[in-house]
Each structure stands twice: as C-alpha cells, then as structure tokens.
Amino acid sequence: MSAPAILPGATLGVMGGGQLGRMFVHAAQRMGYFTAVLDPDPDSPAGRVSHRHVHADYLDEKGLAELAGCSAAITTEFENVPAPALAKLARLKPVAPGADAVEIAQDRIREKAHFSRCGVACAPYAAIETQQQLDAVPAALLPGILKTARLGYDGKGQQRVATREQLAAAWAAAQRVPCVLEQLLPLAAECSVIVARGADGTMVHLPPQLNLHRDGILAVTQVWEGALPREQAQQAIAAAESIARGLDYVGVLCVEFFVLADGALVVNEMAPRPHNSGHWSMDGCDLSQFELQVRTLAGLPLAPPRQHSAAVMLNLLGDLWFDGDKPRTPPWEAVLQLPGAHLHLYGKLSARPGRKMGHLNLTGASAQQARGTALAAARLLGIEPF
C-alpha cells in the first residue's frame, strides 16, 4: 500500500540552494506548500526565497536534524549532495530521489555499469583506477575523452587525448583519481529526456529535447514535434524509462544522449534532478519539470505533461554581463519586447564568465516562430547564433 499523499500546507525540504532549488521552491509555493532549504551559503538563490533557510553544511548533524524536523519530505537539487546525508535523512523522513540512485549518478564508473545492466548503449569506455588499467587501455579507445569518475559537470574534469602519452599525462594531471576513458565518437547532435517517476512506479516524460553545448556548457535547447526524428525520440524515451526503472527511481531524472553521425543513440550521463535542458517546460508545457518534482516528492498524481508551444531555451551565462572587461546590464527591455520571451533570472548577486545567471525561454505557435524569435534574442544579447 502506497503512503498517503503529502498535501499542500505541508513543508517540503530541499538539499541545496542553487537555481534548481529556487525553481523547485517557487513551484512548491505556487501549489501551496511551505519550503525549507539546507545550504551553507547565506545568499543562496533558493535560500533567499524559501520560507526557511537552514544555514549548514550538507553533512552537518544539527542542520540535517533541523531540515528533517521541519519537512514532511525532502529532495535534492544537485547531484553532488553527499549520498550519506540523504541516507541519514531517509531514516527520518521520505527522501526522493534516494541515496542509492544519487550515489550511482555521482560515479561515472558505476553509472555506466548501470546503463549496461539496463540494456542501454553508451560510448565504448575503460575504467582507469590503477596503473595496470591505464596500461591495458585498448588502442581502439583513442582518440578519446578522459573524464574524472566523480565531481565533473559542465565539461569540468574532462580532457581530450589522442595518444597513450597524452592519456598518461592527462591522468597524472587529474591526480590519478579514478577516471573513465571514453572513445571519441562522430556526433551529429545531442539530446535529453526528462522523466518523472512516482513511488508507485507511474512514469511520465517531457518531450525529447535537442541540445547544443558550447565549451561543455548547455547553450541552447529546442523542443517541438519533429526536432528529433520520431524513431530517435521514441528510442531515447524508452532508454530513459529503462534507466529510471532499473534504479527504482522516485523523482525527476534527466538522461542525456549523443546522437551519432549514423543516427544511433548512445547514453552520455544522467542527472538525478531537474536539468537545464528542461527549463523550457516552465513556459512551453502545462506541467514544468519542477511541478513534476513536487508531485513525485509529495506522492501526488503524475499527469502526462502536454507541450502547448514550440520552445527554445537560451542559457544566460555571466559573460553577457560584460562588454570586454567592462560590466554592463544586458538589454532586457529590448529582449522583452519580443513576442513569447520569458526571462528567468536566478537572483545571483554577482556575475562571472561561465556562471549560469538565468535562462530565456522563447515560445511560439510554430517551430519557425520560436526559433526566429530566439535568434533575434540571441542577436540582442550577443549570443552566438545556432
């Protein structure tokens, strides 16, 4: 028998105070919940808008006890929250996603093993944890990308290598921590699928999202019928659902894929939380990824999301706040004159190059309209066209 739903009026807790936590908090508050955030930063984006902000480290015993004491259920907003903290909280209150799923997502070696167990293809790879494993790397994996097994995101902890000598040097530069070497594949595109799975096994998904990365950071997401060929889209959805089911996952999960030159799909990685590529759903869909996160955490019904507008999401990095070395304010007034422009800024107090400051959603009645408006916005902001 499933647990009773946690209804509006209760307090929902979140580990982490970044922008994803902020948007979860807004979604929960809009539905009538109170919120509590645990984050060590007194100026964290989510903490500043939550009803309660627990200023504590993620492993602080008193902070965890305070969050558990005031929350009916607890989620996480980024994948590097220590899994032991989630396990400790789960002994006191419902936690979704669970520590086991988050722990797998934190380790590329375990993550890839999980993909294989679920029958989902990933790029050919080798785990490198010892000198013997380094020496035994198959020549077919070069050229490749060496990735640290833990704590890599937005392109961090990744080095391209073409020879064994470069591989050895890259591993030494990474302090010989556990890594994976992935074969460099001919990519045509990248895409992602966001699924939401309830404790009862019910699963729904957002439409597959076509993504463009620059310097390892997501720059543009485009979503409309036909953005991906139907067969590819269905394959990506089935793979994401298999990965979530194999984890017995509860919550919102993003699975990212590479689309190869021959049209084949291989899984890249998963994120046990809402994802940058799902931000378009806040304005292009009747259920955003953050409302789905609230529903999975609270045990509410999961209705299939319906996209009502073609959508493009532009990531707004801190570079846009500078003209060379000179600080500037981006031209929001001109941008917001565009039809279907929806600005989301995260309340961060200072901009710096590469920092995610917000996103801009552009919606339209057709793919052509949404894309045209997005390109106009990109010109105004100084974002490279796509």
Residue positions in the annotated binding site for ATP? Answer: 108, 147, 152-158, 182-185, 190, 213, 268-269
How much of the chain is helix, strand and coil, in % rounded to 5? 30, 30, 40
Residues comprising the binding site? 108, 147, 152-158, 182-185, 190, 213, 268-269
Q: Which residues contact 370 (CB under 8 A, 6 or more apart)?
A: 222, 224, 309, 310, 311, 312, 340, 362, 363, 364
Cα 19–Cα 21–Cα 22 angle in degrees, nearest 5: 60
- Return the DSSP state at 78: S
Residues 6+ apart with CB under 8 A from 101: 247, 248, 249, 251, 253, 272
- Cis amide bond preceding 82, omega within 30: no
CA 79/CA 155 separation, integer angstroms: 15
For the purposes of burial, counting CB atoms within 10 Å of the CB of 81, is it exposed (0-12), middle (13-18) or buried (19 or more)? buried
Q: Six-digit token pair at 208?
A: 């597959």
Q: For 33-130, list the strands marked E by DSSP.
A: 34-38, 52-54, 73-76, 125-128
Token digits of residue 51: 């009803």
344: Cβ contacts below 8 Å, ≥ 6 apart: 23, 279, 282, 358, 359, 360, 361
Residue of 196, 197, 257 lying closest to 232 (CA atoms): 257
Tell me which amino acid residue 53 is. H
Query: CA-CA distance, 23 to 213, in Å (whole number)?
Result: 22
What would the two tokens of residue 223 be? 């979503």
Cβ contact 127:280 at 8 Å: no
- Across the chain, the runs of DSSP E, i.e. the strands, are 11-15, 34-38, 52-54, 73-76, 125-128, 144-148, 158-161, 179-183, 187-197, 203-205, 209-214, 217-223, 251-260, 265-271, 310-317, 322-323, 326-327, 341-345, 356-364
